[in-house]
Amino acid sequence: MMNISIIGHHITKFGELWDRSLQDLLTEALQNSVNQAFERTGLKPGDIDAIFVSNKASGSFNHQRHVSALASEHFDHFPPAIRVEAACASGGVAIMSACQALRSGQYKTVLVVGVEKMTDASAAETTQILASAANMELEYGSTFPGLYALLAQAHMTAFGTSRENLSAVAVKNHRHAVSNPTAQFRREMTLEQVSNSALVADPLRILDCSPISDGAAAVVLTSQDVSDRQSTTATIIGQGQGQDSLDLASRASFTELAATVRAAKEAYTQAGVAAKDIQMAEVHDCFTIAEILASEDLGFVPKGAGGEAVIAGKTTYGGAVVINPSGGLKACGHPVGATGVKQLAYLASMIEKGACELGLTHNVGGSGATAVVNILAKKGKKGLSR
């Protein structure tokens, strides 16, 4: 597989950013990521061959329905720009599409920028916008917390996953977010605070849920063997996209996301690595139960052991794999279109800092209808079977 390097990246502050517009966020992520790439490699603005924009619903959130054109305007040569969308997995599929375009040979260097400015809409509107990434179950009035609550109940029934297990995911991710300067919530939580927070959809409580967020993230990807002043550039060595039915009612199992299993299998095979080799993972913890499912479906722990693994410290520093070092969707925030790109950008920065040599990102849309897994390695990492 062609080697694709992440030569620039930027993540804006995530949060309720009342003083910043969709365009402000897009511009910050775009300009900083390309400037970093240019400084590191000597590439110039005219070398950006195309732009892939990840965004879920700027048409409804911000009355802006041609966001890809706004991204292209930042360059004098107006590179081709498209928007790629797959609900909350938009960032993951935008990265997939960008890599396919690079591997086709049509483009050599591309920008992927994910953005969502959610607080321009009311919380009620936002809930409806998010909930409509479902199908039949939407007609019965279910929203996303309701759907993931069903998955949580099934997991608790099948494996004895406890209220404390769920809370431990939130506690860990809030602790991780303290060291992430762009995270939405940089404060620790106790198990008791999470377990006693307001009930949203039994058993999920408000502190089991990722927040409504504004933010953007961008990465510059190249297939060229540019001379990079950054000695520890991250490269994408494996990718996979998996699907399942949009309706939960049509799925074979409630205790796994088959889309994640399919995406992971493809990505691990392409990369020539196994789950046990992964040191850090940014996974899609839109709800605490989602991280437990991911830790199992990605192969980090056996099926059913995800809840206890968090309590035992297996998914934080000192454990087998650090899950959601950024704080995850839960504490770093979840500006939907930005999330999948942020995962890649954050992991690239961890690799550059020497905190990780082999990592994984995992982005989910439509309560498990779509999942994308990327595997990243430090450039030239030894010991890979590839």
Contact between 228 and a copy of itself by CB under 8 A: the answer reads: no
**Alpha-carbon separation of residue 244 from 106, 270, 350, 367 (angstroms):** 31, 21, 31, 10
Contact between 241 and a copy of itself by CB under 8 A: the answer reads: yes
DSSP single-letter state for residue 218 = E
Interaction residues for a copy of itself, span 49-88 (CB under 8 A)? 56-57, 59-60, 63-66, 68-70, 72-73, 78-87
CA-based end-to-end distance of the chain: 9
Contact between 3 and a copy of itself by CB under 8 A: the answer reads: no
The nearest distance, CB 271 to a copy of itself, in angstroms, is: 14
User: What tokens were used for 29?
Assistant: 């992520």
Contact 249, 137 (CB under 8 A): yes
User: What tokens were used for 61?
Assistant: 């959130």
User: Cα–Cα distance between 377 and 285 in angstroms, integer?
Assistant: 22
Between 87 and 200, name the residue whose CB sits nearer to a copy of itself.
Answer: 87
Q: Which residues contact 35 (CB under 8 A, 6 or more apart)?
A: 8
Length, in residues, of the chain = 386
Omega before residue 45 within 30° of 0, cis: no
Contact between 127 and a copy of itself by CB under 8 A: the answer reads: no
CA-based diameter of the chain, in Å? 58
Planar angle of CA 319, 322, 323, nearest 5 degrees: 125
Contact between 93 and a copy of itself by CB under 8 A: the answer reads: yes
351: number of Cβ within 10 Å: 26
Contact between 262 and a copy of itself by CB under 8 A: the answer reads: yes
Among 135, 197, 232, 279, binds a copy of itself (CB under 8 A): 135
Q: Which stretch binds a copy of itself (CB under 8 A): 157-165, 316-324, 354-362, 363-371?
A: 363-371
DSSP string, 253-300: -SSS-HHHHHHHHHHHHHHT--GGG--EEE---SBHHHHHHHHHHTTS
Among 296, 370, 378, 379, binds a copy of itself (CB under 8 A): 370
Q: Which stretch binds a copy of itself (CB under 8 A): 32-40, 99-107, 181-189, 199-207?
A: 99-107
**Alpha-carbon separation of residue 188 from 40, 185, 252, 355 (angstroms):** 35, 9, 37, 22
Between 246 and 344, name the residue whose CB sits nearer to a copy of itself.
Answer: 246
Between 198 and 252, name the residue whose CB sits nearer to a copy of itself.
Answer: 252
Among 216, 366, 373, 377, binds a copy of itself (CB under 8 A): 366
Contact between 269 and a copy of itself by CB under 8 A: the answer reads: no
Contact between 132 and a copy of itself by CB under 8 A: the answer reads: yes
Between 80 and 319, name the residue whose CB sits nearer to a copy of itself.
Answer: 80
Active site residues: 88, 334
Residues near a copy of itself, by CB under 8 A: 56-57, 59-60, 63-66, 68-70, 72-73, 78-87, 93, 96-97, 99-106, 128-129, 132-135, 138, 241-246, 250, 259, 262, 365-366, 369-370
